[in-house]
Amino acid sequence: MLETKNLSKKFGGLRALWDVNTKIEQGTIHGLIGPNGSGKSTFFNLITGIYQPDLGSHINFAGQDITTRSAHQIAELGVSRTFQLLRLFLDMTVLENVMVGYHCHSPYGILSPIFLGTKVRKAENIIREEMIELLEFLGLAEFADIPASELSGGQKKLLSLGRAIAMKPKLLLLDEPGAGLSPVNIDNLMDTILTLKERYKLTVIVVEHVLKLVMNTCERITVLDHGKKIAEGTPEEVKGNRSVVEAYLGKEMADEEIRRVFTG
């Protein structure tokens, strides 16, 4: 589904990403982890065309070279994402937020019901049904008609996940979906992500500091440190990898949760 070769990005003198080679298999959930500033969000920004990679980098998505494509073109090919800092339309209702996601892919555009005839309005109703079903999956259907600003932090995270899925992607990139959630909500989120992946036949890459979520959900994991890939494999392989343990335990990030993951 996705392959990168020598994927690199410099910001001035800083190498945010450095010759990263990786392959993400179709239909899998793939974890991307690493300490703060290791290049995870940069990886997403390069895949989605927000930043242009350095010369010599290659990105292949679903058989197409997307290295120099624009963000818009890449989204159209079927890559969608959530952001580390949520970007919801807070004045719009919960339902309208997912409708916007959908309309990024609709041939009619969001204002069409005003300008076009009943045929489009009918299509609009079908989409509405579909989007309400998606909200039901996320446990947000009862909030469909309230402004997104009134949701709790955790509910807003679910809504941003919903909006990304409404775009009908083939590849879904999740940047820290678990951040700020309580442990119970994190368990629910893991279940939700797995269910959504099956139902919408997604390939998922998830960046996450909550290592429990990554270890329990992902089939394979890539580990970055200072912009370089330092390890890749199954959760078990990664957990037992010396350089991974050093990258984490050697830093201030060596909190209780991380110690528990690596020391069992």
Ligand X SMILES: Nc1ncnc2c1ncn2[C@@H]1O[C@H](COP(=O)(O)OP(=O)(O)OP(=O)(O)O)[C@@H](O)[C@H]1O
CB of 206 to ligand X, least distance (A): 13
Cβ neighbours around 250 below 10 Å, total: 12
Question: Could you tell which of ligand X, Mg ion, none binds residue 38, using a CB distance below 5 to 8 A set by kind?
Answer: ligand X
d(CA 224, CA 251): 14
Q: Which residues contact 244 (CB under 8 A, 6 or more apart)?
A: 223, 230, 231, 238, 262
Tokens (6 digits) for 159: 């809504």
Candidate residues 14, 71, 90, 146; the one interacting with ligand X per rule CB under 6 A: 14
Question: Could you tell which of ligand X, Mg ion, none binds residue 39, using a CB distance below 5 to 8 A set by kind?
Answer: ligand X
Candidate residues 1, 2, 7, 16; the one interacting with ligand X per rule CB under 6 A: 16
Q: How far is CA 128 from the centre of its chain?
A: 24
With contacts defined by CB under 5 A, name the span among 13-21, 37-45, 62-70, 181-189 that binds Mg ion. Answer: 37-45
* Cβ(162)–Cβ(140) below 8 Å: yes
The site map against Mg ion for 82-121 (x = CB under 5 A) is: --x-------------------------------------
Instruction: Please work out the total of residues on this chain that contact ligand X, with binding judged by CB under 6 A.
Output: 12
Radius of gyration of the chain (CA): 19
> 257 burial class (0-12, 13-18, 19+ CB within 10 angstroms)?
middle
Task: Answer yes or no whether residue 255 interacts with ligand X by CB under 6 A.
Answer: no
* Cβ(210)–Cβ(29) below 8 Å: no
Candidate residues 10, 11, 25, 149; the one interacting with ligand X per rule CB under 6 A: 11
Task: Answer yes or no whether residue 41 interacts with Mg ion by CB under 5 A.
Answer: yes
Residues that bind Mg ion (CB under 5 A): 40-41, 84
Residues that bind ligand X (CB under 6 A): 11, 14, 16, 34, 36-42, 84
